[in-house]
Amino acid sequence: MFSLSRNFEPAIADYLYLLEKGYPQKSILKMVGDRYQLVSKERSMLYRGVVTGADRDLRKAKKTEKLPSGAKITVDGYNVIRTMGSYLLGKPVFIAMDGFLRDAAEMHRSTLQKKILDRTLELLIAYFGSVRPAEVVIYLDAPVSKSGKLAVRLNELLEQNALTGNALTARSPDHHLKAVSQGVVCTADSAVIDAAQVPVFDLAKGILDSSFHPDFICFTEYLK
């Protein structure tokens, strides 16, 4: 179980102060991380979890707390799958200051082990079955190893569970997600949220909340 160092809370305060002042994010990450001797995962949590007031307001306005039944949903596949996988592996998963669930696993283009991936897909499909969306479109990053096979598997699972939809690979899923003009986009990726034209639902958090009722590390507590 990952535990935060006692230096982490003051590091958040300094990082947020400098971020609000407009200093470059990567520069202050190194400066604050070095000053408080933060480990790699804590630095990743700062980078992905601390959000300026302006960005918090923007994302709060776009966020929907419930996935409506009968809606078309477009899913940022690896963003959702990796966050859920990180939780199942016991790696740091936290609610950022903008209210979205993120992980600090730094997986990038790596893939989940089969047992964890199987469980993640099981939870994903079960959740879709409970909300019965009108259509599910799942985008996967083509450059990630075995994305094609994962798309095939997801399509089989959608069909087996009588869910209308399609999983497909794309060189730049973000481009497609940002262009969605109907329904709901499911992601916690900040760049996609900021550019989204439709409501955004935090699918990974929704699934984990309904399945496990976890007590996440919550960055919003540091704003009080």
pLDDT digits (tens, 9 = 90+) for 83-97: 999 999 999 999 999
Mean pLDDT value of segment 14-20 = 97
Q: Where are the domains of the chain?
A: 8-50, 62-92+105-214
Mean pLDDT value of segment 41-64 = 96
Cβ neighbour number for residue 7 with a 10 Å cutoff: 15
pLDDT digits (tens, 9 = 90+) for 187-220: 999 999 999 999 999 999 999 999 999 999 999 9
Which CATH code for domain 62-92+105-214?
3.40.50
Provide the strand spans (E) within 20-143: 72-76, 93-95, 101-103, 135-141
Residue found by looking up tokens 């996935």 in the block: 67
pLDDT at 3: 84
- Return the percentage of the chain with pLDDT > 70, whole number: 97
pLDDT at 111: 67
